[in-house]
């Protein structure tokens, strides 16, 4: 699969992952590496095609991201997108300048050479998505213009060297025939074959795990979330009882989470799972703490300590398995460098460097949708595979202010009702993430003839494609009314419910 692949060089575009996903959806493996990947390593990978991504920089600035010009002489077809087009033009002798008329948003693409193999199945006039302030004013020698918009050379190619340049972003949905353009590059120009599938991936990965692990033992921290659950199931299928899972019940999990994990993965899949009830430890450490960052760090630190203690009780374990997925890998090697910390410990992680294990990460090449597909192929029930994201600190960051057992129990019940009703109304898979937040606010209410003074809770439901931006879900009023009635009537401790109609940005999906 790797020898029949497309390599994407990352210049800092926000759309890099979209490019890789579009190509993988076609049945071809696509991999993202930083733009400074050494030329010899690119050659070693033997890609069938190379894509130079977009990016926010200007090629004529002193600190612009550059590549080795020899990449164009490897005989490997190149598709240069946005910044990639400007860089290619700049390096090969053309001219790039700041445009008088910048293009951000929709534009009309007019083909100048409709017979070009890049445009098979694409009409002479179609909508594309532009995002640039620089543009090519003079093509490099050997290049010809094959499409334009009202304000720029939109597409060019060097047929002799098999280099294609596009100023727009074919990977975004606003570009009408973007999928067709990528398909033409991947199959017509790079001559790839379809051989990337989750069935093939499972077979190859199982074989690789067996070869890597041999007769040694593997330890995995099972959270019940999609990534760790699929990783555990895949590894167990490969090596059986050589795998030991540790499930830490922090007291901040969803209702019956420990029971469900033990039943599905312990009883049904016959995994060796050690369940640790650490609720008292976590709640003790969190007592009196209200600051969100402080709570996150306490939960993360305590998790590591509990995990370490349990791991220390095991003998002859050589490998530590993690549910690392491809977006985690891409982010860690991003050319943008470390981003500002908005919140720490979004997922359980940060295991200490002195743990004497070799890492085993069987999902590190997969996107989230591919992880879910693997899970289904392995027989994990849909209701576990399609679960909404749940943060590592759990309810600890959905209880605003100090965390107590009383509040955690109240929130667990309310959240369970909300999720249950979403499933009953066939809405759960139509929203991206839904949960309940418990506020450190009490208000007056009347239940029967009795005055109450109880907590206020918030329903949060968001719709998103990539979790970078999100809008609030337009749930039916009748549905919200039913959820409100159930929570207020059935959950002792809540007498007022509100609905969060904030989008991201400026708000985040989680409240803390």
- Give the pLDDT confidence score for residue 236 in this predicted structure: 96
- Give the pLDDT confidence score for residue 17 in this predicted structure: 87
- Residue 108 dihedral angles phi and psi, to the nearest 5°: -100, 125
Beta strands in 5-85 (DSSP E): 5-10, 29-34, 49-52, 78-81
Q: Which of 195, 209, 132, 193 shows the shortest CA–CA distance to 165?
A: 132
Is 252 a residue whose pLDDT tops 50? yes
pLDDT tens per residue, range 142-156 = 999 999 998 899 999
pLDDT tens per residue, range 377-431 = 999 998 889 999 888 899 999 999 999 999 999 999 999 999 999 999 999 999 9
Is 289 a residue whose pLDDT tops 50? yes
Provide the annotated active-site residues: 82, 169, 171
pLDDT bin (cut points 50, 70, 90) of residue 329 is confident
pLDDT tens per residue, range 491-510 = 999 999 999 999 998 999 99
Residues with Cβ within 8 Å of residue 286, at least 6 apart in sequence: 295, 298, 299, 396, 402, 403
Residues with Cβ within 8 Å of residue 415, at least 6 apart in sequence: 254, 255, 395, 398, 435, 436
Express as a percent the part of the chain with pLDDT over 70: 94
- Give the pLDDT confidence score for residue 340 in this predicted structure: 32
Lowest mean pLDDT, pick from 232-241, 259-268, 291-300, 324-333: 324-333
Q: Which of 132, 139, 116 shows the shortest CA–CA distance to 167?
A: 132
- Residue 344 dihedral angles phi and psi, to the nearest 5°: -95, 165
Is 349 a residue whose pLDDT tops 80? no
Is 350 a residue whose pLDDT tops 70? no
- Give the pLDDT confidence score for residue 131 in this predicted structure: 80
Q: Average pLDDT of 317-334?
A: 82
- Give the pLDDT confidence score for residue 341 in this predicted structure: 33
pLDDT tens per residue, range 95-119 = 998 876 666 788 999 999 999 999 9
pLDDT bin (cut points 50, 70, 90) of residue 267 is confident
């Amino acid at each position: 699969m790797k020898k029949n692949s497309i390599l994407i060089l990352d210049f800092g575009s926000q759309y890099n992952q979209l490019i890789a996903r579009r190509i993988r959806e076609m049945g071809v493996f696509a991999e993202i590496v930083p733009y400074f990947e050494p030329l010899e390593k690119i050659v070693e990978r033997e890609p069938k095609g190379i894509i130079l991504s977009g990016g926010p920089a200007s090629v004529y600035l002193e600190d612009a991201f550059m590549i080795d010009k020899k990449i164009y002489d490897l005989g490997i077809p190149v598709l240069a997108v946005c910044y990639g087009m400007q860089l290619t033009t700049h390096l090969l002798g053309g001219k790039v300048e700041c445009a008088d008329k910048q293009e951000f948003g929709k534009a009309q693409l007019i083909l100048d050479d409709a017979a070009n193999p890049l445009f098979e199945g694409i009409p002479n006039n179609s909508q594309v998505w532009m995002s640039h302030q620089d543009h090519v004013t003079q093509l490099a020698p050997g290049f010809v213009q094959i499409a334009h918009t009202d304000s720029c050379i939109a597409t060019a190619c060097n047929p002799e060297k098999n280099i294609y340049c596009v100023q727009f972003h074919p990977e975004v949905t606003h570009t009408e025939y973007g999928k067709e353009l990528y398909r033409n590059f991947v199959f017509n120009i790079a001559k790839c074959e379809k051989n990337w599938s989750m069935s093939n991936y499972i077979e190859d990965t199982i074989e690789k795990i067996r070869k890597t692990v041999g007769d040694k033992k593997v330890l995995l921290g099972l959270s019940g979330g999609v990534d760790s659950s699929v990783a555990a199931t895949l590894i167990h299928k490969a090596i059986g009882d050589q795998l030991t899972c540790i499930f830490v019940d922090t007291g901040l999990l969803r209702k019956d989470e420990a029971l469900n994990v033990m039943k599905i993965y312990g009883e049904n899949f016959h995994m060796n799972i050690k369940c640790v009830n650490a609720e008292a430890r976590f709640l003790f450490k969190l007592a009196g703490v209200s600051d969100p960052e402080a709570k996150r760090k306490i939960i993360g630190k305590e998790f590591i300590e509990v995990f370490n203690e349990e791991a220390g009780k095991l003998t002859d374990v050589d490998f530590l398995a993690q549910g690392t997925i491809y977006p985690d890998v891409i982010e860690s090697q991003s050319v943008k460098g470390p981003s500002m910390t908005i919140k720490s410990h979004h997922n359980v992680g940060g295991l200490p460097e002195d743990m004497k294990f070799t890492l085993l990460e069987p999902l590190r090449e997969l996107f989230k949708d591919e992880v879910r597909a693997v899970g289904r192929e392995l027989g994990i029930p849909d209701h576990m595979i399609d679960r909404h994201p749940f943060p590592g600190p759990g309810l600890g960051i959905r209880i605003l202010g100090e965390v107590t057992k009383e509040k955690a129990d109240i929130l667990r019940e309310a959240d369970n009702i909300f999720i249950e009703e979403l499933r009953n109304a066939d809405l759960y898979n139509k929203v991206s993430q839904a949960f309940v937040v418990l506020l450190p606010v009490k208000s007056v209410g009347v239940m029967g003839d009795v005055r109450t003074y109880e907590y206020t809770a918030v329903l949060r439901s968001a719709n998103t494609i990539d979790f970078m931006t999100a809008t609030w879900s337009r749930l039916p009023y009748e549905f919200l009314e039913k959820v409100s009635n159930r929570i207020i009537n059935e959950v002792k401790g809540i007498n007022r419910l509100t609905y969060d109609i904030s989008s991201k940005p400026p708000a985040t999906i989680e409240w803390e």
